[in-house]
Amino acid sequence: MKAITEGMQERKIEILFEDNHLIAINKRCGEIVQGDKTGDRTIGDDVKIYLKDKYQKPGSVFLGVTHRLDRPTSGVLLFARTSKSLARMNELFSTGGEIRKTYWAVADMKPNPPVATLEHWLVRNEKQNKSFASLQEQKESKKASLTYQYIASSDRFHLLEIELHTGRHHQIRAQLAAIGLHIKGDLKYGFPRSNKDGGIHLHARMIRFVHPVTHEPVEISAPVPNDPVWQYFEKTRK
């Protein structure tokens, strides 16, 4: 865990992977990937400070966003350290080739069937900052596909492991809600109560891809947040 200090503020970032081309961190709930209307400091700003300090870089530091995680979501977040690696990672994410993204979600219901592939058409509502899933193609809709697998249950909640086949706005949240499953803490998509930290129990657990420069296989996993529900389910996987 690296402490980043700027002015009177100090925040910590957890580095999961780093080389000359890429850097991955474990994003926490509430951190934003890119600037928005709130004007809040981004996790990218913190990573730039870390790189500038570690390598004593003069001037500005290049850092490219390869993909995004919703603000209330935690887990693996990958950045590019060069324009070359950014272009190649963007191509991987856009085509879906040789890249796998695995998420964990804690839901209020046990899915039936326990394993399934979901395909919907998503329409994004900009005003509500929300996506709506339909089984039929709609005007301005985008196709969304994922595969979920039921993993374990506690006395109140159920753990799903999800493989994304596409990368749409709020995809997991919208598609699970469409089949009657609601992620713990996700008020926007139907869960009745918020989490104390304002986050939701959706975690980018792992990303696997072929390195855009070295061409070696890379697998990066992120520990779950320090939360009783997450800790319970992580123990069931050991």
Tell me: the pLDDT tens digits for 20-37?
Answer: 999 999 999 999 987 766
- Give the separation between CA 11 and CA 30, rounded to whole angstroms: 12
CA-CA distance, 130 to 124, in Å (whole number)? Answer: 6
pLDDT at position 7, please?
A: 42
Predicted local distance difference test score (pLDDT) of residue 40? 80
Question: Which residue range(s) make up the domain with 170?
Answer: 2-236
pLDDT of residue 10: 55
Per-residue pLDDT tens over the stretch 155-187: 999 999 999 998 899 999 999 999 999 999 999
Q: Is the pLDDT of residue 4 over 60?
A: no
pLDDT exceeds cutoff 90 at 204: yes
pLDDT digits (tens, 9 = 90+) for 55-64: 998 888 999 9
Which pLDDT score, from 0 to 100, does residue 92 have? 81
Query: Within 13 Å of residue 115, how many CA atoms lie on the same side as its CB?
Result: 3
Mean pLDDT of 110-136: 96
Which pLDDT value is given to residue 3? 56
d(Cα 164, Cα 176) in Å, to the nearest integer? 12
pLDDT at 5 over 60: no
On the question of pLDDT at 6 being above 60, the answer is no
Task: List the CATH number of the domain containing 51.
Answer: 3.30.2350.10
Please state, for a pLDDT cut of 90, what percent of the chain lies above it: 79
Please count the other Cβ atoms lying within 10 Å of the Cβ belonging to residue 76: 23
Of 223, 163, 168, 209, which Cα lies nearest the Cα of 22?
209
Backbone angles phi, psi at 232, to 5 degrees: -60, -50
State the Cα–Cα distance between residues 172 and 179, nearest whole angstrom: 11
Q: How many domains does the chain have?
A: 1
More confident residue, 71 or 238: 71
**Residue 236: per-residue pLDDT:** 83
Which tens digit of pLDDT belongs to each residue from 213-226? 999 999 999 999 99
Residue 149 has which token pair?
A: 């697998």
Q: Identify the pLDDT of residue 93.
A: 77
Say what the pLDDT of residue 79 is.
97
CA–CA dist 106, 87 (Å, integer): 33
pTM for the structure as a whole: 0.92
Average the pLDDT over 67-83 and give the result.
95
Share the mean pLDDT of the chain: 91
CA distance 86 to 21: 9
